[in-house]
Amino acid sequence: MSISIGIHDMSIATGEFVLPHTALAEHNGTEIGKYHVGIGQESMSVPAADEDIVTMGAAAAAPIVARHGSDRIRTVVFATESSIDQAKSAGIYVHSLLGLPSAARVVELKQACYGATAALQFAIGLVARDPAQQVLVIASDVSKYGLDSPGEATQGAAAVAMLVGVNPALVRIEDPSGLFTADVMDFWRPNYRDTALVDGQESIGAYLQAVEGTWKDYAEQSGRSLDEFAAFCYHQPFTKMAYKAHRHLLNYCGHDTDNDDIARAIGQTTAYNTVIGNSYTASVYLALAALLDQADDLTGRPVGFLSYGSGSVAEFFAGTVVAGYKEHLRTGANREAIARRKPVDYAGYRALHERKFPADGGDHPTPSQTTGPFRLAGLSGHKRIYQAR
């Protein structure tokens, strides 16, 4: 690629409430170590009744538009696997809430947790074609499993917005990519279900198979060697999966699997996911945000990305951190997005989990719970109504 293209700005958002895993463990009679140590999770974000992927996506994107304006944004790509409509892109609601120009294309992309990486690569292609453009990529998801199911402890909700353009201020995305697809049924959600179905052991195996497959292709495409990378951002359905994945990659490449080395490569990428839970498409980019917000100095250093989406599609690629990146980070705002969440008890969480709109086409306002900048006001005539606060 003759011009430098990548992530120019990045911002995160999450839900109004937080459920500590101690509350879940108390309800389940589970030893807390199973959550804190076994899967590496401490708490999960829980959206308010008037929050969803649109309100979180708009909240993540609004600071980017405020900082850079919208004149050059000609495309919005919204990646999600918890979509609110089978036809209309969730991004169109965000486009409206943010007052973006009408001279724009807006689409929604889906492939489980991989979707945001597809969106990022799509964005890079558009910018390469017309370097005057910028693309707004939004990854937003609410991870939801059945109550009292094995997946319940890995739930979460968050959005990451990224502005993609030339001469990026944060991370330059490199060629090549290592790619891998396999038809597996490790995780899926049929149209008639609100909650996903997951085969936990199958999913771990499919993820590790994808680690091998993407790295093999990346190496064959003449990518960087493993020891060049300063850190690795993995998709984190639960944070311990990043450690499993990196250990597997080291083994596959014939490297030692020293725990301290793995912690150095992974440790700083798990900070946000540990307390937010699984955010599906946003997860790997929350890992990047956490890394950039904590690392001493990554200037000029390559970071590896392993994006995995069940079903399954995966991609391994590299990004180099740009000089001066610290001046453009939103570390304080990112930490505040997490710190501002209000604790919810198990009964309150369960009520939110079970809440759903009637399907009768009537008027169904939502209780005003969120303190965020946007809210889902309700449903009327089968139409979702959003408000900027």
Write the pLDDT tens digit of every residue in 239-269.
999 999 999 999 999 999 988 899 999 999 9
Q: DSSP state, 341?
A: P
Q: Let me know whether 52 and 109 are in one domain.
A: yes
Q: Let me know whether 66 and 120 are in one domain.
A: yes
- Tell me the pLDDT band of 1, cut-offs 50, 70 and 90: very low
Active site residue 113: yes
C-alpha to C-alpha distance for 389 and 382, rounded to whole angstroms: 22
Q: Let me know whether 161 and 241 are in one domain.
A: no
Q: Let me know whether 87 and 48 are in one domain.
A: yes
How confident is the prediction for the chain on average, in pLDDT?
Answer: 96
What pLDDT, on the 0 to 100 scale, is given for residue 336? 98
By three-state DSSP, how is residue 388 classified? strand
The last residue of one of the domains, among 323, 342, 363, is 323
Q: Let me know whether 295 and 348 are in one domain.
A: no
- Tell me the pLDDT band of 195, cut-offs 50, 70 and 90: confident
The last residue of one of the domains, among 323, 340, 372, is 323
Active site residue 315: no
Residue of 21, 235, 246, 248 marked catalytic: 235
Q: Let me know whether 308 and 341 are in one domain.
A: no
Q: Let me know whether 45 and 102 are in one domain.
A: yes
47-99 tens-digit pLDDT: 999 999 999 999 999 999 999 999 999 999 999 999 999 999 999 999 999 99
The last residue of one of the domains, among 323, 348, 368, is 323
DSSP string across 74-111: EEEEEE-SS-S-SSS-HHHHHHHHTT--SS-EEEEE-B
**383 Cβ partners below 8 Å, 6+ apart?**
none
Q: Which residue(s) pair with 117 in the sheet?
A: none
What pLDDT, on the 0 to 100 scale, is given for residue 200? 81
Q: Let me know whether 161 and 44 are in one domain.
A: yes
Chain centroid to CA 262: 22
Residue of 81, 108, 233, 246 marked catalytic: 81
276-297 tens-digit pLDDT: 999 999 999 999 999 999 999 9
- Tell me the pLDDT band of 2, cut-offs 50, 70 and 90: low
C-alpha to C-alpha distance for 198 and 195, rounded to whole angstroms: 10
What pLDDT, on the 0 to 100 scale, is given for residue 19? 98
Percent of the chain whose pLDDT exceeds 70: 99
Q: Let me know whether 310 and 337 are in one domain.
A: no
CATH number at residue 292: 3.40.47.10
Residue 156: its H or E element: strand 156-166
Look at 256 and 275; give whichever has higher pLDDT. Answer: 275
139-194 tens-digit pLDDT: 999 999 999 998 999 999 999 999 999 999 999 999 999 999 999 999 999 999 98
Quote the domain boundaries for residue 61: 5-171+329-388
- Average pLDDT over every residue of 35-43: 97
> What's the structural domain count of the chain?
2
| Torsion angle (degrees, nearest 10) of CA 91, 322, 118, 174 | 160
Residue of 113, 233, 246, 248 marked catalytic: 113
Q: Let me know whether 200 and 227 are in one domain.
A: yes
- Average pLDDT over every residue of 197-218: 94
- Average pLDDT over every residue of 358-368: 97
Q: Let me know whether 15 and 32 are in one domain.
A: yes
What pLDDT, on the 0 to 100 scale, is given for residue 267? 96
Q: Which residue(s) pair with 383 in the sheet?
A: 380
**81 Cβ partners below 8 Å, 6+ apart?**
110, 111, 112, 113, 115, 141, 189, 280, 281, 309
- C-alpha pair distances (Å), 204 with each of 24, 115, 222: 23, 19, 27
Active site residue 228: no
Q: Let me know whether 182 and 280 are in one domain.
A: yes
Half-sphere exposure at residue 174, Cβ-oriented, CA atoms within 13 angstroms: 21
